[in-house]
């Protein structure tokens, strides 16, 4: 089957996205999916290299890539051969057809809502953000905010909603992504909300929903430091404490798809009240509302109770930087609880890397040298090196990129599954 050459030029220097899974490490997935993911991760790659990395025959790769080209998922791109001065027949590489699909990724949070639109190759086309009022929303209010933001970011990208193939949506709380069900979230007044189906009906585009910390892990796996790692953890500290964990190159969610809730592991029996309704959760000692509660009490800031948590935290941080011992002790206490949580992650999972992410990472007292030293003391001593800790103090657009990765994955896997059924 002869495929037409796409209009790629010698200057086409695409960057890959998605997990960089080592060759021959995951042979349970259909070969068609492995080949597509290899092309997507590489950006541009010759057929012969795909065959070599996957350990399959070039003929098999040629057959399947022809099918993927016919399906509109990938394309051929010409490039001048290196060292030949542009003479002779150009080399041919494979790349994802960027224009095949466009998806949106959105994060709904306690502070602001953010959105991105990316093409099928993961390139950013537009982004936007809108502030929100504090407190949980009704479903109707949340859907209205999502619709407003989606229309804004689509306008920036010069697209209509109908031009999108899927939308990824991240919210804090307990989310069953397979069912599209939000069991509990700090941004919703109701529990057990079928958010995916409700949003799909409202927007007219398929919507996939997940916990926002999972989406940060996806963002790191698709676009960041976790692309080549088989096992790593992302711990997010903002309005709550979350964790996304990648195990064997796949996001781990647990039997009921609501696992890895590090913020709701218990660090104190009958301890401080958490926003989930239970007591003694790690989040109740580390998250922003915990720091604001401690500041109001320890610094006698009762007169500031009407201020937003963000303003209180900035004031607390300014006092700590200025040498206020009480303000520093508040961060120090939160950091010690964080050290307990991180050491438990190390002892349970032995990840290759732990990434600390989120708005609170601006407050360096939370991960000061003494905090990391305490974490090392609490971790099991095996004689082997502990995983490195990286600080990624990025904004909410990172979370939205993770939501876009969720949508990209859903679109590509859906199409590949259809092709597999047809082939069968």
Return the HEC string of 162-227. HHCCEEEEEECCEEECCCCEEEECCCECCCCECHHHHHHHHHCCCEEEEEHHHHHHHHHHHHCCCC
How many C-beta neighbours within 10 Å does residue 379 have?
18
| Nearest-angstrom CA–CA distance, 296 and 302 | 6
| Nearest-angstrom CA–CA distance, 277 and 281 | 10
| Nearest-angstrom CA–CA distance, 98 and 117 | 12
**Low-confidence winner among 76-85, 186-195, 207-216 (lowest mean pLDDT):** 76-85
Judging by DSSP bridges, how do beta strands 112-119 and 102-107 pair with one another? antiparallel
Q: Which residues contact 1 (CB under 8 A, 6 or more apart)?
A: 66, 70
Q: Which residues contact 219 (CB under 8 A, 6 or more apart)?
A: 398, 399, 401, 402, 405
Q: Looking at residue 417, what is its pLDDT? A: 82
How many C-beta neighbours within 10 Å does residue 111 have?
17
Question: Is 214 within 8 Å of 182 (Cβ atoms)?
Answer: no
Higher-pLDDT residue of 8 and 178 is 178
| Nearest-angstrom CA–CA distance, 178 and 160 | 27
Two domains, one topology: 1-100 and 225-395 = no
Question: Is 357 within 8 Å of 236 (Cβ atoms)?
Answer: yes
Query: Where are the domains positioned within the chain?
Result: 1-100, 102-217+398-415, 225-395
CA distance to 16, 42, 82, 219, 396, per residue, from 399 (Å): 19, 23, 38, 7, 5
Q: How buried is residue 163: exposed, middle or buried, by Cβ count under 10 Å (0-12/13-18/19+)?
A: middle
For residue 50 the two structure tokens come to: 């795909």
| Nearest-angstrom CA–CA distance, 211 and 242 | 9
| Nearest-angstrom CA–CA distance, 74 and 94 | 7
pLDDT per residue as tens digits for the range 106-151: 999 877 899 999 999 999 999 999 988 778 999 999 999 999 999 9
**Is the pLDDT confidence value at 89 over 80?**
no
| Nearest-angstrom CA–CA distance, 324 and 301 | 14
For residue 54 the two structure tokens come to: 């996957």
**Mean pLDDT, rounded, of the chain:** 89
Question: Is 117 within 8 Å of 97 (Cβ atoms)?
Answer: no
Strand partners, 291: none
Return the HEC string of 318-349. HHHHCCCHHHHHHHHHHHHHHHHHHHHHHHHH
**Is the pLDDT confidence value at 304 over 90?**
no
Question: Is 76 within 8 Å of 86 (Cβ atoms)?
Answer: no
pLDDT per residue as tens digits for the range 335-393: 999 999 999 999 999 999 999 998 888 888 778 888 899 999 999 999 999 999 999 86
- Of 3.30.930.10, 3.10.290.10, 3.20.20.140, 3.30.420.40, the CATH number of 225-395 is 3.30.420.40
Collapse the DSSP code of 74 into the 3-class scheme (helix H, G, I; strand E, B; otherwise coil) and give the result. strand
Q: Looking at residue 90, what is its pLDDT? A: 65
Q: Which residues contact 385 (CB under 8 A, 6 or more apart)?
A: none
**Is the pLDDT confidence value at 397 over 90?**
no
Q: Looking at residue 369, what is its pLDDT? A: 87
CA 344 vs. chain centroid, Å, equals 22
Question: What pLDDT band is residue 20 in, cutting at 50, 70 and 90?
Answer: confident
Question: What pLDDT band is residue 79 in, cutting at 50, 70 and 90?
Answer: low
CATH of domain 1-100: 1.10.10.10
CATH of domain 102-217+398-415: 3.30.420.40
Judging by DSSP bridges, how do beta strands 232-237 and 354-357 pair with one another? parallel
Q: Looking at residue 165, what is its pLDDT? A: 98
| Nearest-angstrom CA–CA distance, 414 and 396 | 27
Q: What is the mean pLDDT of residues 47-61?
A: 94
Question: Is 82 within 8 Å of 10 (Cβ atoms)?
Answer: no
């Amino acid at each position: 089957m002869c495929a037409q050459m796409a209009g790629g030029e010698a200057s086409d220097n695409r960057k890959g996205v998605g997990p960089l899974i080592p060759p021959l490490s995951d042979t349970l997935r259909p070969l068609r999916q492995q080949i597509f993911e290899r092309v997507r991760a590489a950006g541009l790659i010759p057929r012969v290299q795909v065959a070599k990395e996957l350990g399959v025959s070039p003929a098999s790769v040629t057959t399947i890539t022809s099918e993927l080209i016919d399906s509109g998922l990938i394309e051929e791109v010409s490039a001048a051969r290196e060292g030949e001065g542009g003479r002779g027949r150009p080399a041919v590489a494979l790349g994802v057809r960027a224009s095949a699909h466009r998806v949106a990724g959105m994060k709904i949070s306690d502070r602001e809502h953010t959105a991105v639109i990316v093409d099928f190759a993961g390139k950013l086309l537009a982004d936007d953000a809108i502030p929100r009022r504090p407190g949980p929303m009704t479903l109707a209010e949340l859907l209205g905010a999502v619709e407003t933001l989606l229309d804004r970011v689509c306008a920036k990208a010069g697209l209509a909603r109908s031009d999108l193939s899927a939308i990824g949506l991240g919210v804090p709380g307990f989310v069953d992504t397979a069912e599209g069900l939000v069991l509990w979230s700090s941004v919703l007044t109701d529990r057990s909300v079928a958010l995916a189906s409700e949003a799909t009906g409202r927007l007219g585009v398929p919507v996939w929903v997940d916990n926002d910390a999972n989406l940060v892990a996806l963002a790191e796996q698709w676009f960041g430091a976790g692309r080549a790692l088989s096992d790593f953890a992302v711990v997010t500290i903002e309005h709550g404490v979350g964790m996304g964990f990648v195990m064997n190159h796949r996001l781990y969610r647990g039997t009921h798809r609501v696992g890895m809730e590090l913020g709701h592991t218990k660090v104190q029996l009958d301890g401080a009240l958490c926003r989930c309704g239970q007591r003694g959760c790690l989040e109740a000692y580390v998250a922003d509302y915990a720091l604001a509660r401690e500041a109001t009490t320890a610094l006698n800031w009762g007169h500031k109770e009407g201020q937003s948590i963000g303003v209180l935290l900035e004031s607390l941080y300014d006092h700590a930087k200025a040498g206020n011992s009480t303000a520093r002790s508040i961060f120090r206490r939160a950091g010690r609880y964080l050290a307990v949580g991180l050491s438990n992650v190390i002892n349970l999972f032995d990840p290759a890397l732990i990434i600390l992410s989120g708005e609170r990472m601006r407050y360096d007292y939370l991960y000061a040298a003494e905090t990391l030293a305490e974490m090392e003391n609490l971790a099991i001593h095996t004689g082997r090196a502990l995983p490195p800790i990286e600080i990624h103090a990025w904004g909410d657009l990172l979370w939205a990129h993770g939501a876009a990765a969720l949508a990209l994955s859903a679109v590509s896997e859906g199409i590949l599954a259809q092709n597999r059924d047809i082939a069968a």
